[in-house]
Structure 1
Amino acid sequence: MQKILLTLFALVVLVSCAEKKSDKNFVLNGHIKGLKSGTIYIQRIKDTVLVPIDTIKIDGDAHFVSEFNLDSPEMLYLFLDRGVTNSLDNNIPFFAEKGVMTLETSLDFFTADAKITGSKNQALYDEYRKVMSRYVDQDLSLIEKKFKAYKASQLDEVAKLDEEQKGIIKRKYLYTTNFAVNNGDYEVAPYVALAEIYDINLKFLDTIQKSMSPKVSKSLYGKKLNDYIAERKKIGK
């Protein structure tokens, strides 16, 4: 009898687990350490405006789950309405793709502590941002030096620093182009091309376009890049 009861219990557990299985193709498991209450919005950009896909109320438990269908890998944004502060540190971008992803962070260092796993596009984007942050730091250092040179009326030094800044921009564009070409099998490639170097010479965008796999070319950002290149060729720029 005990064996029968155990078997029945196991069957009930299996059925319960099956019932809880999501019928959506994207699941985000999240945890915001230290958050007691607030509202989380999962958002996407539509017509240059952030619009909500899902809304989650937090009341006591800092863990949350967001489930919905995703047509194509896409950069989404997790926005936290803290309710009691106007902190600017409240929006985390993440490159969503079909499957299960995990986002963990803390309330105190919301964006800085964010760790996002479960997406190859996200992993590549993290790698890209790490390199780009070095260029940003270099540029900020030059801006500070240029400000001091202006105050000291050192115009020759200002001109020299201007040239150094132009060099940083060129290196950023070259790195982004190489990154996109080398990762043509992933949707992050057309995304960074559109987000970071949309005004680059068309021949570089053509190179990125040709490097995209057929799957990526048919994706959300692949289509947008193809349309953008076609439009620029039409107007001859």
Structure 2
Amino acid sequence: MKKLLLLGVGLFALVACEKKETPKGSLHLTGNIKGLSQGKLYLKKIEDTTFVTLDSIIIKGNSNFESTVKLKSPEVLYLFLDRGQTNSIDNSLPFFAEPGEMNIDANLKEFYASAKVTGSKNHELLTEFNSYRTKFNEQSLKLVEKKIKEGFNLSEKTADSINDAYQKILTRKYRYTANFAATHSDFEIAPYLALTEIGDINIAYLDTIAKHLTPKITNSKYGKLLTKHIKDRKQNEK
């Protein structure tokens, strides 16, 4: 009986060790890059407009990967894939990281397009936003293609028409982004989008977004950057 009890305690301790909790203020990232037998992954972030490497992971034989890095608050990180001798522009995957457990599954052939990111509500919202932004970008691209196709035959009237259509698309895109940020003011994606997508919008819109942010988001990395951005713009526009 005593031996059985000791065995039970030992098994419990083993399971407990295997299920270690992610340290507070850290990101535990796991994943799999299907088809990758050899290469290197780099986990990076942008600091003062420069990429800074947080971790590097060597892939050799096993396409699974794991990394734990400090992360005080949610922010966009980048998973870079070094394919070795294979050249590809599809080697960078931005994702909205959050402290805690996250997972990224992708394949070697379509690293960015195939990626499935789980464990982050901010990333879910970013994916939703990007689907609409793609539609705006496609509409703008069609106008550019039309302008190029006309070439030297482009009349002033047609040029003005294309420019007006482009401005309308841009206005809709800005309004959609501002509304999306204001609607999701309790997530870090709100100040992030305000900074990266519509930083030059009428300052009144940025003020409205900032005022809607919850105290937690205001004190986040992007919340503080948005506050500084608004302050700097007001000083420069006096």
Structure-1-length-normalised TM-score: 0.94
Q: Which secondary structure state, in structure 1, belongs to the residue aligned with residue 103 of structure 2? A: strand
- The more displaced of 150-159 and 82-91 is 150-159
Is contact 2:31-2:103 (8 Å) kept? Answer: yes
Is 1:33 the equivalent of 2:29? no
Q: Could you tell me which residue of structure 1 aligns to residue 80 of structure 2?
A: 79
Q: Could you tell me which residue of structure 2 aligns to residue 46 of structure 1?
A: 47
CA drift at 1:90: 0.3
CA drift at 1:155: 3.1
Q: Could you tell me which residue of structure 2 aligns to residue 139 of structure 1?
A: 140
- Which of 9, 13, 32 aligns to 1:15? It is 13
- The more displaced of 46-55 and 12-21 is 12-21
Is contact 2:106-2:114 (8 Å) kept? Answer: yes
CA drift at 1:10: 4.0
**Partners of 1:59 and 1:168 in 2: how far apart?**
47
Is contact 2:22-2:101 (8 Å) kept? Answer: no
**Partners of 2:189 and 2:200 in 1: how far apart?**
18
Q: In the TM superposition, what are the counterparts of 1:96-107 in structure 2 within 5 Å?
A: 96-107=97-108
**Partners of 1:236 and 1:158 in 2: how far apart?**
31
**Partners of 1:35 and 1:205 in 2: how far apart?**
43
For structure 2, the residue ranges without an aligned partner over 5 or more in a row are none
CA drift at 1:68: 1.7
CA drift at 1:52: 0.6
Change (3 A) 1:99 1:23: closer
**What CA deviation, in whole Å up to 9, does each residue of 1:149-185 have, x standing for no partner?**
2243333212211111111111110011000100000
Change (3 A) 1:186 1:105: same
Computed over aligned residues only, the root mean square deviation of the Cα atoms, in angstroms, reads: 1.5
Q: Could you tell me which residue of structure 1 aligns to residue 230 of structure 2?
A: 229
Is contact 2:79-2:94 (8 Å) kept? Answer: yes
Is contact 2:22-2:28 (8 Å) kept? Answer: no
What amino acid maps onto 1:104 in structure 2? D
CA drift at 1:77: 0.2
Is contact 1:150-1:158 (8 Å) kept? Answer: no
Is contact 1:74-1:95 (8 Å) kept? Answer: yes
Is 1:196 the equivalent of 2:194? no
**Partners of 1:101 and 1:35 in 2: how far apart?**
20
**Partners of 2:151 and 2:205 in 1: how far apart?**
35
**Partners of 1:49 and 1:132 in 2: how far apart?**
25
Fraction of identical pairs, as percent = 44
What amino acid maps onto 2:208 in structure 1? T
Q: Could you tell me which residue of structure 2 aligns to residue 94 of structure 1?
A: 95
**What CA deviation, in whole Å up to 9, does each residue of 1:67-93 have, x standing for no partner?**
122111110000011111221100000
CA drift at 1:23: 4.7
Is contact 1:149-1:157 (8 Å) kept? Answer: no
Q: Which secondary structure state, in structure 1, belongs to the residue aligned with residue 11 of structure 2? A: helix
